[in-house]
């Protein structure tokens, strides 16, 4: 499957990705709708931090998914075709188990609607909304192999002391 | 290869799926004393409160057993096991042989010895059958008493409250959730439940159940002679692993003891779920962590190992997540200092009922409590599991926890 990756060095922390995600998962179609909708639509990405600083973070659709195993309502399942972990809001009881076990903190709880929410990889569209919204290309779509190849190429350039390597290292988070 | 699985809840179901991912051909035979397909026991209280229907409680699609080619023995109680011959004995006299066995027989509620506890109207809540019986008797407007203020007791009390009953919780300990949470966190949850109409008698023992002329429970008498009239009592005083049928052939302590591959002392026989005593990551000792996430993960690992893998189970954790009308509480691992080498950090906002408590042993995070302040706390659970020294402890106390560093 194709994952959403983050090039932390390109991220400006504008978080356009969060806005576009909330909009893509709202009932309306523009910023005004987004502001007026109640309960407020939730971005399915989160402003995460590690020792390097802030970056946008979303569901990694893990293997042996802790959220899927912990869900007491069997509301989280893996789509056999896309590999995406999906939350069935009709089954979710908002118990918070998935929030307790997600090692990335990539699941949120909608307190008004009492359901859990997370990145669905915009499975119905060609390119996820967050990637389309990113002005610097810090977010991009690719397989794990493609991401790893990019990282290795950058590292090679850096070893050779070439520009394009040194200041553009891809520091995505580990899966 | 002939696989047998005793138990059809989280551990059993995840194990059967794991076996089938690797071995599509061999026979799998599953025994359960339950009459129907797998459902979520954790949802019995939600069913009671009318939050979910019986159909919604089922954790797998209707064709699950057929699609995975599983020979099902519903309503079949296993009464004996011969680990040397590899044979299971059932209540109806049938014997079935196996090459690999998973014991995921779960646990049963503990019934304390109190005069009158066998009266009509006194229940435990574990199965859908229990939930149905309680629901039939629980009349909106009536009075209910719940014994025990652990997660199950409180979830039951809260469900009866939503159902429209006047609910009183009686517990021997001076605080609610005494096994899984510290005093300050428990106090916040108690206040919230009291605001919603629940009443508490903490630090009291029940001496006797009074019954009406017809034999049904009519009141509960406490050790200070207080009488609490009620038409229904639910006992939530903990659970004990179902190991009775195992005889003396196994190593049984607090639960059925397994090694790091979830194999029992008998080769080819594995255990998972509420029956199993596993390695606890936070305490670094053996424990029975009888909650759904542990059971499911153990089932998956045990199933893979039954099918020929050699996968280590990294260990279990005390994990609890509770939701009461808008209040969310999550606890993991150790919630109280157990000695001088423990360090506790707390952040409390009493007015907003927001609370976070971190428990460290040396440089390692070994547990936390989060009330309402739950955003991203899974990263804390991951830190307990990872056992990497924490550099900046204070930073973890507020906001979305750092993922690393």
A37 to chain B, minimum CA–CA distance in Å? 21
Is residue A72 situated within a structural domain?
yes
pLDDT, residue A36, reads 87
A130 to chain B, minimum CA–CA distance in Å? 20
The residue in chain A having the minimum alpha-carbon distance to the alpha carbon of residue B11 is: A69
* Residues from chain B contacting residue A98 (CB–CB below 8 Å): 378
d(C-alpha B57, C-alpha B78), whole Å: 24
Is residue A173 situated within a structural domain?
no
Is residue A89 situated within a structural domain?
yes
d(C-alpha B256, C-alpha B6), whole Å: 14
Reply yes or no on whether the pLDDT at A105 is more than 80. Answer: yes
The residue in chain B having the minimum alpha-carbon distance to the alpha carbon of residue A89 is: B56
pLDDT, residue B175, reads 98
d(C-alpha B191, C-alpha A91), whole Å: 29
Mutation pick from B294, B318, B403 vs chain A, by most beta carbons of A within 10 Å, is B403
Is residue A96 situated within a structural domain?
yes
Is residue A47 situated within a structural domain?
no
Is residue A9 situated within a structural domain?
no
Is the CB of residue A37 less than 8 Å from the CB of residue A28? yes
Angle between helices B183-195 and B151-162 (to 10 degrees): 10
CA distances from B246 to A27, A113, B5, B172 (A): 56, 46, 14, 32
Is residue A67 situated within a structural domain?
yes
Which CATH number is A110's domain given?
3.30.70.20
Nearest to B366 by CA among B347, B394, B346, B385: B385
pLDDT, residue A59, reads 96
pLDDT, residue B240, reads 97
Q: What letter does residue A173 receive in the DSSP assignment?
A: P
User: pLDDT band at residue A166, thresholds of 50, 70 and 90?
Assistant: very low
Residues of B with CB under 8 A from a CB of A: 14, 40, 42-43, 46, 51-52, 56, 58-60, 292-293, 296-297, 300, 319, 321-323, 326, 328, 330, 332, 374-379, 381-382, 385, 400-405
d(C-alpha B240, C-alpha B252), whole Å: 12
pLDDT, residue B73, reads 97
* Residues from chain A contacting residue B318 (CB–CB below 8 Å): none
- Over the stretch A19-36, which tens digit does the pLDDT of each residue have? 999 999 998 878 888 888
d(C-alpha B397, C-alpha B405), whole Å: 14
The dihedrals phi and psi of B122, each to the nearest 5 degrees, come to -105, 125
Give the one of A50, A66, A95 whose C-beta lies nearest to B403's C-beta.
A50
Residue B317 buriedness (CB in 10 A; 0-12 / 13-18 / 19+): buried
Is the CB of residue B127 less than 8 Å from the CB of residue B9? no
Residues of chain B short of pLDDT 70, as ranges, are 405
pLDDT, residue B405, reads 65
Q: Which residues contact B104 (CB under 8 A, 6 or more apart)?
A: B5, B6, B7, B9, B11, B12, B15, B271, B272, B273, B275, B295, B299, B302
d(C-alpha B77, C-alpha B31), whole Å: 7
- Asked if A69 lies within 8 A of B300 by C-beta distance, the reply is yes
Whether the CB of A113 is below 8 Å from some CB of chain B: the reply is no
Return the bridge partners of B211, or none: B217
pLDDT, residue A174, reads 37
* Residues from chain A contacting residue B42 (CB–CB below 8 Å): 72-73, 95
- Asked if A97 lies within 8 A of B293 by C-beta distance, the reply is yes
User: pLDDT band at residue A124, thresholds of 50, 70 and 90?
Assistant: confident
What's the domain range around A82?
62-118
For chain A, how many structural domains are there in total? 1
User: pLDDT band at residue A1, thresholds of 50, 70 and 90?
Assistant: low
Is residue A102 situated within a structural domain?
yes
Size of interface A-B (CB pairs under 8 A): 116
Angle at B374 between CA B292 and CA A174, to 5 degrees: 80
What six digits make up the tokens of A125?
Answer: 């569209």
B57 to chain A, minimum CA–CA distance in Å? 7
What is the predicted ipTM? 0.95
Give the one of B292, B374, B379 whose C-beta lies nearest to A103's C-beta.
B379
pLDDT, residue A108, reads 97
A168 to chain B, minimum CA–CA distance in Å? 22
User: pLDDT band at residue A2, thresholds of 50, 70 and 90?
Assistant: confident
Give the one of B43, B52, B323 whose C-beta lies nearest to A96's C-beta.
B323
């Amino acid at each position: 499957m194709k994952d959403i990756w983050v090039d932390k060095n390109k991220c400006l922390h504008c978080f356009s990705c969060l806005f576009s995600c909330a909009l893509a998962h709202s009932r309306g179609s523009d910023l005004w709708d987004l502001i007026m909708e109640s309960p407020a639509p939730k971005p399915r990405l989160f402003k995460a931090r590690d020792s390097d600083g802030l970056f946008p973070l979303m569901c990694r659709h893990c293997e042996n998914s802790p959220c899927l195993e912990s869900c007491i309502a069997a509301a989280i399942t893996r789509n056999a075709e896309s590999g995406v972990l999906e939350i069935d809001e009709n089954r979710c009881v908002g118990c918070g188990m998935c929030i307790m076990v997600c090692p990335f903190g990539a699941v949120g709880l909608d307190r008004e609607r009492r359901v859990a929410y997370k990145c669905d990889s915009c499975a119905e569209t060609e390119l996820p909304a967050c990637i389309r919204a990113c002005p610097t290309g810090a977010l991009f779509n690719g397989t794990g192999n493609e991401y790893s190849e990019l990282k290795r190429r950058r590292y090679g350039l850096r070893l050779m002391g070439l520009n394009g390597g040194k200041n553009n290292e891809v520091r995505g988070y580990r899966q | 290869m002939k696989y047998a699985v005793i138990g059809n809840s989280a551990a059993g179901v995840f194990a059967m799926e794991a076996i089938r991912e690797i071995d599509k051909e061999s026979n799998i035979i599953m025994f359960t004393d339950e009459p129907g397909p797998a459902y979520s026991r954790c949802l019995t209280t939600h069913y009671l409160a009318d939050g979910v229907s019986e159909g919604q409680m089922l954790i797998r699609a209707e064709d699950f057993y057929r699609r995975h080619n599983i020979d099902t023995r519903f309503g079949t109680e296993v009464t004996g096991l011969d680990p040397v011959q590899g044979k299971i004995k059932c209540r109806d006299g049938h014997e079935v042989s196996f090459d690999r066995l998973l014991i995921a027989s779960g646990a049963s509620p503990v019934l304390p010895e109190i005069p009158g506890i066998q009266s009509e109207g006194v229940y435990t809540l574990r199965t859908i059958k229990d939930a149905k019986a309680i629901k039939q008797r629980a009349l909106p407007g009536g009075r209910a008493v719940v014994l025990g203020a652990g997660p199950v007791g409180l979830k039951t009390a809260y469900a009866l409250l939503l159902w429209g009953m006047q609910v009183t919780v009686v517990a021997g300990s001076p605080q609610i959730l005494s096994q899984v949470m510290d005093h300050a966190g428990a106090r916040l949850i108690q206040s919230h439940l009291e605001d919603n109409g629940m009443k508490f008698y903490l630090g009291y023992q029940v001496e006797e159940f009074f019954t009406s002329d017809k034999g049904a429970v009519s009141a509960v008498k406490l050790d200070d002679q207080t009488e609490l009239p009620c038409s229904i009592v639910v006992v939530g005083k903990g659970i004990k692993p179902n190991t009775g049928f195992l005889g003396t052939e196994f190593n049984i302590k607090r639960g059925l003891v397994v090694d790091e591959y979830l194999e029992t002392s008998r080769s080819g026989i594995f255990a998972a779920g509420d029956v199993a005593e596993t390695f606890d990551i936070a305490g670094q000792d053996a424990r029975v962590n009888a909650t759904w996430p542990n059971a499911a993960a153990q089932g998956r690992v045990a199933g893979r190992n039954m099918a020929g893998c050699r996968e280590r189970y990294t260990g279990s954790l005390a994990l609890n997540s509770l939701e009461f009308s808008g209040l969310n509480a999550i606890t993991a691992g150790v919630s109280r200092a157990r000695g001088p080498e423990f360090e506790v950090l707390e952040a409390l906002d009493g007015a907003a009922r927001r609370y976070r408590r971190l428990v460290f042993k040396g440089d390692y995070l070994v547990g936390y409590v989060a009330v309402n302040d739950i955003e991203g706390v899974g990263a804390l659970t991951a830190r307990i599991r990872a056992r990497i020294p924490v550099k900046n402890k204070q930073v973890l106390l507020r906001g979305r926890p750092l993922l690393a560093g």
